[in-house]
Amino acid sequence: MDLIETIRLDNGLTLEIWDESRKIAEDTVKVALTARIRVALKQEYLPGEEQYRTVRRAFGDELLYEQRNERAYVHLKDRDAVFGQLLSDFKETTMKYISRPDFASGLAKSKFMDIQRDPYKYRAGKPDLTVLN
């Protein structure tokens, strides 16, 4: 796993581009690009104190946005070109979205909605987790 690029976004967040490619066979690789943004959780991102505490109990003080794009069974000689295309496609389709000023608050709200949709996924080992209806 190699950090390929770090990009400071217009909204103040930092995007990391990771190469997580790995060899499958002698002349074949799985090309994998992972994009990560770490977002410090702030109460102002959510409409109320209870929602903030719920998200914080489930995820801690930091939220993680992660997108992974991959191609399996790529010939070794094509590895760099395929990774370059994955990176180009990611930047073309996603940069505008993750650079929005409200991206961090949207991520926090999305995490809260996920807790509401599937509270049992977040209760494991956290018996005090309260999910609001």
Per-residue DSSP letters for 45-98? Answer: GSSSHHHHHHHHHHHTTEEEEEEEEEEEEEEGGGHHHHHHHHHHHHHHHHHHHH
CB atoms within 10 A of CB 34: 17
pLDDT band at 45 (very low <50, low <70, confident <90, very high): very high
Give yes or no for a contact between 68 and 83, defined as CB atoms under 8 angstroms apart: no
- What's the mean per-residue pLDDT of the chain? 93
Is beta strand 62-75 parallel, antiparallel or unpaired with respect to 28-40?
A: antiparallel
Please state, in angstroms and as integers, the Cα–Cα distance from residue 36 to each residue in 14, 63, 109, 111, following that order: 8, 10, 18, 16
The dihedral sign for the CA sequence 101, 17, 122, 56: negative
Amino acid letter, residue 23: K
**Euclidean distance between CA atoms 82 and 13, whole angstroms:** 27
- Mean pLDDT to the nearest integer, 25-54: 97
pLDDT of residue 124: 55
The dihedral sign for the CA sequence 21, 23, 28, 30: negative
List pLDDT tens digits, range 56-110.
Answer: 999 999 999 999 999 999 999 999 999 999 999 999 999 999 999 999 999 999 9
